[in-house]
Amino acid sequence: MTRKALIWVLLAGWALAYAASVAAFLSIESAGDGFTRGLNRLMAFFGWQIVAGAFASAVWLAGRNQDHAPLRRWLVRLPALVAGLLVILVIVIIALARLSHPDPAPPQPTRITLPPVNG
């Protein structure tokens, strides 16, 4: 198999893994209770994203040191750039969640207890 054919096969594998991550996230029913509800969907998404990242790395390595047309050169870099943007997006979302200062919860009403009535 030529290097050009290998690159196209790896790009197709990356596209399938990326599509599978989105499809898994959208099609899996949320499981769990309370805080952990829906984590199974996130784990499926990130599991497929790890597979897509492996394909992206393989595409980048297979496509380096090649004399490509400018469009094909960017096509070889695209999967790794998309993976990097996803990592940056996750970091930004986590940072915004940690740095945001939501309004404090209203104080709980004071419970008054009366002494028992003797009678």
- Residue pLDDT, tens place only, 73-103: 888 889 999 999 999 999 999 999 888 877 7
Closest to 13 in 3D by CA, of 55, 75, 62, 74? 55
H, E, C per residue of 47-95: HHHHHHHHHHHHHHHHHCCCCCCHHHHHHHHHHHHHHHHHHHHHHHHHH
Could you tell me if residue 57 is inside a domain? yes
pLDDT grade, residue 119 (50/70/90)?
low
- What is residue 48's predicted lDDT score, i.e. its pLDDT? 94
Residue 26 lies in domain: 3-99
Q: What mean pLDDT comes out for the span 22-46?
A: 88
Could you tell me if residue 112 is inside a domain? no
Which two three-digit tokens encode residue 106? Answer: 């209203």
Could you tell me if residue 119 is inside a domain? no
- What is residue 59's predicted lDDT score, i.e. its pLDDT? 92
Could you tell me if residue 79 is inside a domain? yes
CA distances from 74 to 55, 61, 79, 86, 103 (A): 16, 13, 9, 18, 45
Residue type at 13 in one-letter notation: G
Mean pLDDT, the chain, integer:
88
Could you tell me if residue 114 is inside a domain? no
Q: Per the structure, how many domains does the chain have?
A: 1
